[in-house]
């Protein structure tokens, strides 16, 4: 099971509120604005800035 499409539709970066998109085969959610990538663990999106990595 992956992140439910209904949830994916509304998820945004908690810092800049830009919509996020799935990356790394569903293991991360990337913000197009600030390039933070939030991990997804056991289908739970971890939308905490201190858990995110910044990828250019």
Partner 1 sequence: MKETRQWNEVARYWRDARPQRLWRAYSDLVHTRLLERWLPAQPASRVLKTDVFDEFAATGLAPFLASRARTVVGLDVSEEMLRGVTGTSSLRRVAADARGLPFRDASFDLVVSNSTLDHFDSLAGLEQALTEIARVLRPGGELLLTLDNLANPVVALRNVLPARPLLATGVIPYRMGASCGPGRLRRLVDAAGLTTVELGTLLHCPRLPAVAAARLLAPHDGPRLRRWFFRGLEAWEALGHWPTRFLTGYFLALRARRER
- Could you tell me if 19 and 32 are in contact, meaning their C-beta atoms sit under 8 angstroms apart? yes
CB of 56 to partner 1, least distance (A): 22
Per CB under 8 A, 52 contacts partner 1: no
CB of 19 to partner 1, least distance (A): 6
d(CA 33, CA 53): 14
Among 22, 23, 33, 45, binds partner 1 (CB under 8 A): 45
Tell me the CA distances in angstroms from 20 to 6, 10, 16, 50, one per residue in order.
13, 9, 10, 16
Binding residues for partner 1, per CB under 8 A?
4, 6-7, 10-15, 17, 19-20, 38, 41-51
């Amino acid at each position: 099971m992956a992140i439910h499409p209904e949830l994916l539709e509304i998820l945004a970066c908690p810092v800049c509120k830009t919509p996020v998109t799935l990356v790394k085969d569903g293991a991360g959610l990337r913000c197009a604005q600030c390039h933070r990538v939030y991990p997804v663990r056991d289908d739970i999106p971890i939308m905490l800035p201190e858990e995110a990595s910044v990828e250019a």
